[in-house]
Chains A and B, each alone.
Chain A
Amino acid sequence: MALGSPSPASPALVESRLVQAHGLAALATLLVSVTFGIIIALQLWVPDLGAGTPWLSWGRLRYAHTQGIMLGWLANAFFAFLYHAVPRLTGRPVTSPQLGRWLFALWNIAVMLPGWVLVLAGVSQPLEWAEFPLVVDAVVLVGVVMAVIQFVPPFFTRGLDSLYVSSWYVIGGLVFTALAYPMGNIVPEFVPGAAGAAFSGLWIHDAVGLFVTPMALAIIYYVIPAVTRKPIFSHFLSMLGFWLLFFLYPLNGTHHYVLSVIPMEAQVTAITASALLGVTVIIVVANLLLSLHGSGVLAEDHGLRFVVMATIFYLVVSIQGSLQAFMSVNAFVHFTDWVIGHSHLAMLGFATFAAAGGLAHAWPHIPGARYNPRAMTWAYWLLLGGLTTMVVDLTIAGLVEGQLWQMGAPWTASLEAARPYWIVRTLSAVPIAGGFIAFLVGLTTGPRTDSGAGVAS
């Protein structure tokens, strides 16, 4: 058993059209979701924007924003990456191109489209990261099962003799999501009150920790050795990290309801797991950064560059997460913009940079695809600048709000104090949206790749 960098598969094995289709769908849904986000950011200081038009009201757009980011952008980008990586990791094609076309159509036409339309029309469920209504949930579930059938069997039927950490994350993440999705999206519709919240809490964390994180880590663990052409630093640390993450992530959920009526034992379990998770992530990230073997943070290769930044964000957001689970910190920052900053650091920092890295890495391998490196450089810097501004801004806003609430100041005082931060946060959307547009330009302009085999990265 050797630890290798993924070997180039024969192009015939790779469904390049599906990489491309999911990649473009990812960016299309991303731009729509970002637009929703910009409107609700604006509405916090121009609150009458869209008043009187039900589908433009803050709550409904808020639902559409996060579901779009997770199921539209990230899931599509992950699928694109899986079509690129699974054949290379296993030496086998995915289960069925036919199934792939169905999955693509189902995901975008039977999940995203009706999901958004229904939520904006007022058919939804008020559950975080689970706002699409039950009918759509059922379709998502079918889609996840299809994804498991599509991507998991190749690992078992025939494989290369090298072991890739990525593979574990792909398998573990997909299997876990197939189970956790119904738990988070359907169970709280039937289990009332604080008990329902306990399940929601699990899902809020599982969505990020066991769907998004494993896929993002799969990309990172794949792209680093693929580009550096050197193996991961320590096989032992990879393995340790994998098992600890899969053990600890699911036990974090209750930290979304610290100091609530949910039994103290459960809260303490989650807080302990959160603290241990922070330590684990330090191990995982150290292993990943050491695997760069001196390639540096700002690698020439755009895929690698995005992925390295994702790794750094992963470290920061995880340590922040451990910290804010502690009761004393949580009592202060919970309910404030601090947490909104945290979730953007996770989804827009860590996950989005990993997904973007995966796409940037896979794209030049698509025969005949266009690729524009200059635009990718722009995308990188715009996203990095915008995201950093937003997270720093929201974090400070959260501290200010928390302080005013602790002091017993009138509620409106916290609104007035937050206003300048909300304006800056909206302005940070300019570079972020610009970065995503540049990314789209990067994948749709520039010279075509060799329509035969695809260029080496």
Chain B
Amino acid sequence: MTSQPGPVLRMSYLAASIAGVAFFVLSVAWLGVWPARKLAEQARLTGPEHPLALTASEVRGRAVYAREGCAYCHSQQVRFTDADIARFGAPTMAWETRGDTPHMMGTRRIGPDLARVSGTRSQDWHLTHLYAPRSVVPASVMPAYRHLFQGAPDQPGQSARDLVAYLETLGRVRDLAWPGGEAPAEVVHPARARRTGEVPELQADGDAALGAMLYAGHCAACHGASGIGDGPGAVGLRPRPTNLALHSYSQERVAEVLWNGVAGTAMPAWRDRSIEELSALAAHLQRISVPGVPADPLRADQIRPTDEERDLGGRIYAANCAQCHGAEGAGDGSAAIDLPVAPTNFTRQTPMFDEALRALRNGIDGTPMAPWGSRLSGDELTAVAHYVREFYGGRR
């Protein structure tokens, strides 16, 4: 034994220390600094010159997202793979995240990617979902963020509002940078509600038993087990989930609602379901709508309008309602296009008489449909309620 490490030995220790330093420098230069410069260059060449900065509220929302670990269940990067692009939209470019410090690209997806989530869901859906995820998506495993609320989904605290504001920025810049020029990205999110768009035809003989199962698993949360709009998720939603038992829908309309959702409301689209499943849901819907009164709601309804009522209804309708609901009741009035929620197309769906009257009296909270109870007399309300119902099925 010597009292000093041999020169070779000491050299080797020195070499080990130098290895630590040298390989570190090499790796950081090669895989950190160099890519960073390439990415900056790429961002400069492809990105908009003056991207939208986040507002103070959105910045606070981002901090909530960071501290709650949302990024550990949700990535924020659509990868360059077919499966990703098909499900989430255009792959994430360098410039899109150039303001994100620290980045939250994520490496695990327990929930879906959120890089393109802006515009896919309504505000009330987000709030209800954050407050109690399983009240709107029964199979969800997302944590409930009740601590961001004051006791109810429609009583968000500042953090919850900030968080939703932040969510609405994810993918927004991309949309703004190429308005309309990114068709695939626009339409791709399976739950994104759309106003228009091709709708596939559903089978007329859907499997109602399968439909009932799917309904219980996915729809009852909002529309209630029996379809009367009293599911646990309904509490915080505006407009409220439709009372399906008091409406009739043409098959065409059901297909449209399931494929496109109802834009401007919490009603999601269900485009990730097969045609067979959607047809099954349609069959189930026909069963629960107007229990005991299947085929023709107009005939079954005891109350029939008199001729005077028809005249009165027509006049009121033309003066007050046509600009939104359209002269022929097809929801295509001149003002319709600017409304956040499309006015009802009465030719393809109709409420029961009482339900129409109720909607008229109280309006529909969360939509541009205002209450008419104070503006029209009782007779006028009755008359116009009859009138709109007679558009259904091409009767008028």
Query: Which interface class (under 10, 10 to 19, 20 to 34, 35 or more) fits A?
Result: 35 or more
Which one of A47, A189, A261, A405 contacts B101 once the chains associate, using CB atoms below 8 Å? A189
Residue in chain B with minimal CB distance to A251: B27
Bound-state Cα–Cα, A187 to B101, Å: 10
Contacts of A57 in B (CB 8 A): 68-69, 143, 145, 147
Residue of B nearest to A196 (CB): B103
A183 contacts B103, CB within 8 Å?
Answer: no
**In whole Å, how far is B29's beta carbon from the nearest beta carbon of chain A?**
10
Question: Within the complex, what minimum Cβ distance (angstroms) separates A2 from chain B?
Answer: 10
CA distance A206 to B20 in the complex (A): 11
Which residues in window 259-303 of A have CB below 8 A to B? 259-263, 266, 269-270
A43, B1: Cα distance in complex, Å: 59
Contact A263 B21 (CB under 8 A): no
> Roughly how many angstroms separate A152 CA and B140 CA in the complex, as a whole number?
51
Beta-carbon nearest neighbor of A170 in chain B:
B16
Contact A195 B20 (CB under 8 A): no
Q: Mark A172-183, 1 if CB is under 8 A from B, else 0.
A: 111110011001
Interface residues in B130-157 (C-beta closer than 8 Å to A): 133-134, 137, 139-147
Q: Which residues between 336 and 395 of chain B lie within 8 Å of chain A, taking CB atoms?
A: none
Q: How many A-B contacts are there with CB distance less than 8 Å? A: 275
CA distance A257 to B75 in the complex (A): 11
Partner of B71, one of A126, A246, A250, A411: A126
Contacts of B80 in A (CB 8 A): 259-261
**List of A residues within 8 angstroms of B20 by Cβ:** 171-176, 179, 210, 246
The verdict on A8 contacting chain B, using a C-beta distance below 8 Å, is: no
Q: CA separation between A261 and B101, bound complex, in Å?
A: 17
User: A163, B12: Cβ atoms under 8 Å?
Assistant: yes
Q: Given A47-B142, A161-B1, A253-B27, do A193 and B272 touch, yes or no (CB 8 Å)?
A: no
Is B104's beta carbon under 8 Å from chain A? yes
Assess the A256–B101 pair: CB atoms within 8 A.
no
Shortest B147–chain A CB gap in Å is 5
Which chain A residue has the least Cβ–Cβ distance from B104?
A126
Is B5's CB within 8 Å of the partner chain A?
Answer: yes
Check B103–A197 contact: CB distance below 8 A: yes
User: In the complex the two chains form, what is the Cα distance from A45 to B143 in whole Å?
Assistant: 11
* Residues on B with beta carbons closer than 8 Å to the beta carbon of A452: none
- Chain B residues with Cβ under 8 A from A406's Cβ? 83
Q: Could you mark each residue 108-144 of chain B with 1 if its beta carbon is under 8 Å from any beta carbon of chain A, else 0?
A: 1111100000000000000000000110010111111
Interface residue total, chain B, C-beta cutoff 8 A? 86
In the complex, whether B210 has a CB less than 8 A from a CB of chain A is no
Which of A239-256 touch B at CB < 8 Å? Answer: 242-243, 246-247, 249-251, 253-254, 256
Q: Are B71 and A1 in contact (CB under 8 A)?
A: no
CB closest residue in chain B, given A188: B102
A413 to B100, CA, bound (A): 31
Pick from A62, A193, A198: contact of B99, CB under 8 Å: A193
A313 contacts B by Cβ under 8 Å = no
Q: Of B83, B140, B143, which is within 8 A of A59 by CB?
A: B143
Give per-residue flags for B1-16: 1 if the beta carbon is below 8 A from chain A beta carbons, else 0: 1111110111011101
Interface CB pairs A-B, < 8 A, 18: A47-B134, A57-B68, A57-B69, A59-B73, A59-B143, A163-B9, A183-B24, A188-B102, A194-B77, A195-B35, A196-B100, A202-B32, A250-B24, A250-B31, A257-B77, A261-B93, A269-B31, A334-B79
Q: Which residues of A contact B (CB under 8 A)?
A: 1, 43-45, 47-48, 50-54, 57-60, 62-63, 91, 122-128, 152, 155-156, 158-161, 163, 167-169, 171-176, 179-180, 183, 187-202, 204, 206, 210, 242-243, 246-247, 249-251, 253-254, 256-257, 259-263, 266, 269-270, 331, 334-336, 339-340, 405-406, 408-412, 415-416
Residues of B with Cβ closer than 8 Å to A?
A: 1-6, 8-10, 12-14, 16-17, 19-21, 23-24, 26-28, 30-32, 34-36, 38-40, 42-43, 65-73, 75, 77, 79-81, 83, 86-87, 91-94, 96-105, 107-112, 133-134, 137, 139-147, 190, 218, 272-273
Known: A48-B144, A251-B30. 15 other contacts (CB 8 A): A1-B9, A59-B69, A125-B66, A152-B17, A198-B36, A242-B16, A256-B107, A259-B80, A261-B94, A269-B31, A331-B83, A335-B107, A335-B108, A340-B108, A406-B83
